[in-house]
A and B are shown apart, each in its own frame.
Chain A
Amino acid sequence: MGALIVALVGTIVVLLAPNRLGDELVVLVPSTDGHVGAVVVERSRQKTVLNQAYAASRIVDGGAPQVEQLSAGDVRTEFALVLSALPGRPKSFLVYFLEATDEFTEESRIEFNKIMAELRERGDPDVVVIGHTDRVGNDQYNDRLSLQRAERVRGELVSLGIPEPRIRIAGRGERELLIATDDEVPEPRNRRVEINVR
């Protein structure tokens, strides 16, 4: 008798419960470089793979996902507000130094202006500056030189208006070579500072 009542009450609750799921839509979009990835949409153990640009999975009334193909224009219009709120893409820049100094090469001076333009576009940039050296000199010397280069870059950024607390620096010495060389080989491309902006 008790079980019957529970079953009856259960049935009534299910019948009276409103449809508690709103409609859902998932759309795969190409990245800024045109690359199309993949997203697996799983509902009630049923998996749907989206791997074409603007392929979409739509769930209506809590039913099974239906795959459809949307147009780029419709998607860009429908999702305009959320797309415009995406933060700027993280970017990485390299500047190079004259041998055994924290002086920029002439080309890097010019590159630096581009980096500043990029930073000014971002509301509140986070910057990570990592200094490197080539293999001329011992580890201790190069650790010091790489940090000095990073400090030099931070100084330039601060003087151009980036708040100091937004910049983290590190010196990696000769541990992370861009071009592998034997010890004591001068290599301009290893004498660099990475500026990661996000």
Chain B
Amino acid sequence: MRHFVAVAVLALAATGLARADDVGQVKVAKGTVHVERDGQRLPAAVGMRIRQSDTLITGADGSAGVTFSDNSLLSTGPNSVLVVEHYAFNSTTHAGTFDASLKKGTLAVVSGKIVKQSPGAMRVRTPAAVMGVRGTEFLVQVDEPAK
């Protein structure tokens, strides 16, 4: 038995690429895509882990898709700025909260287990409004203000 526990622990260690504060993963990155984290601008590629407080930024030629740990899917189109404001998910109880904020651009949302467990536990903010998500799929577009 001890041997099998050791194997399980090793197996977990081997997947150590995933950290406890990773909340999602970039699955699609086309054109120019960056993640702003702790004041740094990091180029985003497929496989990159997303954390709470990250800002996903796409250029004029860019689009990106992220799968979150509760199976929520988010994607942004060109010229978009999306902030993962707050994310919490308990994989045992499926309780959690998800607050995202689209500053500009386009966003597609497919809600996951958080919303399935507690409708309304996911909110998407825009400069003018806040969306309470009861499920499951919707699109958002925020134009830049007229100058």
Binding site for B on A (CB under 8 A): 18-31, 35, 37-43, 50, 57, 59, 62, 65, 75, 78-79, 81-90, 122-124, 126, 140, 143-144, 147, 151, 164-165, 167-171, 198
Contact = CB atoms under 8 A, between A and B. Distances in A.
Interface in B125-147: 126-147
A37 B106 contact: no
Contact of A26 (B1, B75, B131, B134): B131
Contact of B127 (A21, A39, A82, A85): A21
Which secondary structure dominates chain A's binding surface?
Answer: mixed
B143 A165 contact: no
Given A37-B135, A90-B67, A81 B78 contact: yes
B111 interface: yes
Given A123-B28, A147-B4, A85 B139 contact: no
Given A79-B77, A147-B8, 17 more contacts: A18-B146, A21-B127, A22-B144, A26-B131, A39-B132, A40-B131, A40-B132, A50-B138, A78-B141, A81-B106, A83-B139, A85-B63, A124-B46, A140-B1, A144-B4, A147-B4, A164-B14
A24 B142 CA distance: 5
A41 B145 contact: no
B4 A22 contact: no
A81 B105 CA distance: 11
Contacts of A88: 27
A26 B110 contact: no
Contacts of A29: 137-139
Contacts of A171: 8
Interface residues of B, number: 56
B23 interface: no
Interface of B: 1, 4, 7-8, 11-12, 14-15, 17, 25, 27-28, 30, 46-47, 63-67, 71, 73, 75-78, 80, 104, 106-108, 110-111, 120, 126-147
A82 B25 contact: no
A86 B12 CA distance: 28
A31 B132 contact: no
A58 B146 CA distance: 16
Contact of A42 (B73, B110, B129, B137): B129
